[in-house]
Chain A
Amino acid sequence: MSEKEAFLKLVETIEKFLQLSRVTGAEKKQEITMDTDIYEDLGIDSLEAMDIVGEIENVFGITVEAQEMLTKKKISDIVTYIMQSNSSN
């Protein structure tokens, strides 16, 4: 999997999560780039981050160290972490 593929898959996973975790019906999307800080820019909190780690494991078919992953803030860092986990799994 290329970095770009991992990025697109990650964005899709997070967007789907943000949509699913909303009971509001409001459809406004938040744009996600490699520079996006998921906590600062998307307002994701630690509980949501735990849910997203679970989704990433499902979607990428990998097992991650949740505690370590939760320290990654930027999308680019998460992509790098996923790429590393992918090759070691």
Chain B
Amino acid sequence: MKKRRVVVTGMGVLASNGNGIAAFKEAIFSGVSGIGPITRFDASNLDVKIAAEVKGFDPVEHMPVAVARKTDRFAQFGVTTARMAIDDAGLSENDSALTKAAVIIGSGLGGMNFHEEAMFALIETSNPKKVPASSVPRITPNAVSAYIALQNKIKGPNQVISTACSSSGQAIGEAFRKVRSGEIDTAVTGGVEATISIVNMAMYQAMMVLGSPLGEDLKTASRPFDKTRNGFVMGEGAACLILEELEHARNRGAKIYAEVVGFGSTCGAYHMVAPNPSGEDAAETMRLALHDAGLNQDSVDYISAHGTSTKLNDLAETQAIKSLFGQYAKDIPVSSIKSMIGHTIGASGAIQAVACCLAIDSSCIPPTINLNSVDEECDLDYVPNQSREKELSVVLSNSFGFGSNNAVLAFAKIR
């Protein structure tokens, strides 16, 4: 039986360098960084005082006040980007394409902001009654997929996948499989993360994984593949995509950004936080995604790297690409949008997916900014500092999470 084909027909994004598809597209192709000082709380006691915050986001502009009041920032991001994607796809409420859809969202941390508030309220007063009755539905990770469903009356399978930094790569992959298998025709999928809270920042700071700027320019703090890179910048954000079966999309005259053609998912079973330096598990995941798509290695025109800007990740990912693609590795442009928007943890795979679809649709590769000092061990074409025009037929998007959790998506230009 012929495999059903799956296409992207709508997208929505909130990122530190642009809210909404048009602003984000302009920002990533122009190399605009969203990194700056932390403003969401008083960060004076932290060593790391920078982050990539979503700016100018007022939830009340995107949902009823009562919903905004009852939801953590992470769920608000999901409700907002899902709405953007649904509108972009031209789907309307009560349309069966939407009511029967799946909602599959990635989130590494869930309702972290409110969780911290509830803990502080209890600790400061030693009174458990200070924890509100309405806490659990704010904190639970599936608040995001539930509120997306509630707000849009979407009654198909509803899931949140939590695999740290690969959460939304896994979520999109699962949604892709459900549409391809025929279980559903449409999915609202993506990832969310609201990371800029004091406990979360303190936890990552303690792990020594956060980077610092070169000199006074805070925007230099994220510099994937650069010799001087020393960690990632915590970012927040979200993205949702509408995945749809090809004929279904064509029959209703939907705009098609790109096709999802393959998904690879593995666990390296190597270490809780460090990547395998050989990159063998990452390479295997890319191989599986290409195999799933029925494509050869030499068909890949661009790789959207996980590229966190840590010493270990960027080297292991480079090794993985070299081991899988051999001689051809140096001919493949590889770039990291984390150079501009920091590491958005569970949202990163979804924001990358949006960037990949825009790259295919616009025939343009977003750059790796802040890449000025060559690292002899990172010797691929990382598209330094300037975007590059190129026709793209096949694109890979890498997401590698803590717990050696790997997800790779393959996108293609629609034929």
Interface residues of A (CB under 8 A from B): 18, 21-26, 28, 30, 42-45, 47-48, 50-51, 54
A24 lies within 8 A of B134 (CB): no
B38 contacts A by Cβ under 8 Å: no
* Residues in B neighbouring A23, C-beta threshold 8 A: 72-73, 113-114, 117, 138
Task: Across the interface, name the chain B residue whose C-beta is closest to A46.
Answer: B133
Interface residues of B (CB under 8 A from A): 58-60, 64-73, 76, 113-114, 117, 129, 132-134, 137-138
26 residue pairs from A and B, CB less than 8 Å apart: A21-B132, A21-B134, A22-B68, A23-B72, A23-B113, A23-B117, A23-B138, A24-B58, A24-B60, A24-B69, A24-B73, A25-B58, A26-B59, A28-B60, A28-B65, A30-B65, A43-B67, A44-B66, A47-B132, A47-B133, A48-B70, A48-B134, A51-B132, A51-B133, A51-B134, A54-B129
B134 lies within 8 A of A26 (CB): no
Of A25, A28, A45, which is within 8 A of B134 by CB? A45
Task: Across the interface, name the chain A residue whose C-beta is closest to B116.
Answer: A23
User: Which among B60, B67, B114, B132 has the greatest number of chain A C-beta atoms within 10 A?
Assistant: B132
Task: Across the interface, name the chain B residue whose C-beta is closest to A50.
Answer: B133
B133 lies within 8 A of A26 (CB): no
User: Which among A25, A30, A54 has the greatest number of chain B C-beta atoms within 10 A?
Assistant: A25
Bound complex: CA A21 to CA B113 (Å): 12
The 3 A-B residue pairs with the shortest CB-CB distance, nearest first, are A43-B66, A47-B134, A50-B133
* Residues in A neighbouring B134, C-beta threshold 8 A: 21, 45, 47-48, 50-51
* Residues in B neighbouring A50, C-beta threshold 8 A: 133-134
Bound complex: CA A14 to CA B76 (Å): 23
Bound complex: CA A30 to CA B67 (Å): 13
Bound complex: CA A45 to CA B133 (Å): 11
Task: Across the interface, name the chain A residue whose C-beta is closest to B60.
Answer: A26
With A23-B73, A26-B58, A42-B66 already in contact, 4 other A-B pairs whose C-beta atoms are closer than 8 Å: A18-B69, A24-B60, A43-B64, A47-B133
CB distance from B120 to the nearest CB of A (A): 12
Bound complex: CA A5 to CA B134 (Å): 28
CB distance from A66 to the nearest CB of B (A): 10
* Residues in B neighbouring A54, C-beta threshold 8 A: 129, 133
